[in-house]
Chains A and B, each alone.
Chain A
Amino acid sequence: MSWGYTINRARDIDMDSNDMTTSKLILEKIPSLQGCIACGACVATCSTGALTKYSLRKVHTLVRRGEYSGLLEELNKCMLCGKCQLVCPRGINTRAVISLIKRELGDHR
């Protein structure tokens, strides 16, 4: 029976308890990802982002903080058109990044 009451979970990103193993592995495989300056050009040009809340910038930042939950579902919205790669001022191979994160997060489903 539901009484309509819930408990809010803490919204903190707790960097002491988050498991950074996958995050580190992703950065080791594609070091250029660390050069992201969060300009958001990838999101501005994104066809998926035009219709959904999908944001590669945000997904990337969450990976960097060890917050993986729900990210695989987000990345599955990407159609790999590659427009983000064309606009990235830091020259990040964004399609490789997306494929890599999806591969590494496979177990986190």
Chain B
Amino acid sequence: MNKEVLIIGGGITGMQCAISLTEIGIKATIVEKSDKLGGKLNDWYKLFPTFTSASEVINPIKDRVKALGIDVQLNSEVIKLTPTTITLSDHTIINADAIVICSGFDIFDAKRKEEYGYKIYNNVITSVDLERMFCEGKVENLDNDTPKRIAILHCVGSRDEKVCQTHCSRVCCVAGVKQAIELKELYPKSEIFNFYMDIRMFGSGYEELYKEAQIKHNIHFVRGRISEAAQTIDNKIQIKAEDTLIGRPLKMSVDLLVLMVGMSAGKSNKDFANIDGVNQNNNGFIAPKDLFIDSVSSDIDSIFYAGCVTSPKSVGESITEGIAAANKVAKFLKS
């Protein structure tokens, strides 16, 4: 077929979508704003719930993109969209028969929740920092090698109207449980407390991982959102929360506070939604044509979505949507 599809974003979703299109004989070009393929998965260490290395997922996909000879344009940021063209930041215009937006999400900026002291206190880090530290094999800033207590706070930048993040980011619950287990394995003598509002274990094997964290790894779960963190004179972090299962305030000092940062809508979503037929939800994510039967389609025939551009999703779900979008694109181009 002599048709061309442009894929915006070279993360796992975009790569998978390009692979699926190429495999059915449709030419796909990936337009990626950074200098490499792979997106955020490049920075993740291991994936829940199986502790599979992120590289074990991303490398075969990258290899396949290479083997199929898929056209990739790096360092190319899309600033404007029409039903059949995209405009790059250097004002180049590229034509296409169909466009798939796989631009993903932004990581919530934890500095916006000032009360937790991120970038103010050394021992307050985010879940993203922790993944990087796991990759590097060392958790920074800990004064001694055996921290006594570590706290993990869920829902930072999720379910919080104060920072305009009304949605649930879904994957942070299980990611928090995964990181708690990883920390416990790194520091078997330390106590780990996960502060949560609800524990949402929606995926296959997630609830089992949660139970394993509780019983096998002795991880404590406290129901309550931390209201504030402050540094103590001996460089620890004092946190305050309510233990809502008891109904009394609770305080403790910890050697490390990990903030489970949520998924924010991509900043580029606003640029994409500049045309009729591409619409944003109130939370900034793009609204698909129909949540059930057209979840990868827009109101414009030639524009499709896949992955976290429409809502927070796991790695597996994003890859699946890449395949689904390719299927819809193929059907559209044949019609």
| B positions within 8 Å CB-CB of A | 199, 211, 214-216, 218, 220, 223, 243, 245-246, 248-253
CB nearest neighbor in A for B218:
A34
Q: Which residue of B lies closest to A67 (CB)?
A: B246
Residue of A nearest to B216 (CB): A31
Chain B residues closer than 8 Å to A15, beta-carbon distance = 250-252
Docked Cα-Cα span, A31 to B245, in Å, equals 20
Q: Is A102 an interface residue (CB 8 A)?
A: no
Q: Which 7 A-B pairs have the closest CB atoms?
A: A15-B252, A13-B250, A34-B214, A61-B245, A35-B215, A35-B214, A12-B249
How many residues does chain A have at the interface if contact means C-beta atoms less than 8 Å apart?
A: 22
Residue of A nearest to B217 (CB): A34
- Which residue of A12, A32, A57 contacts B215 across the interface (Cβ within 8 Å)? A32
- Are A65 and B249 in contact, with the CB atoms below 8 A? no
Q: How far is the CA of A98 from the CA of B252 in the complex (A)?
A: 27
Whether A12 lies near B250 (C-beta < 8 A) is: yes
* 8 A Cβ contacts from A1-60 to B: 11-16, 27, 31-32, 34-38, 57-58
**19 A-B interface contacts by CB (under 8 A):** A12-B251, A13-B243, A13-B248, A15-B250, A16-B251, A32-B215, A34-B218, A35-B211, A35-B214, A35-B215, A37-B199, A38-B223, A57-B245, A61-B243, A61-B245, A61-B246, A64-B220, A67-B246, A90-B211
Bound complex: CA A36 to CA B245 (Å): 12
Q: Does any Cβ of B come within 8 Å of A87's Cβ?
A: no
Judging by beta carbons under 8 Å apart, are B218 and A58 in contact? no
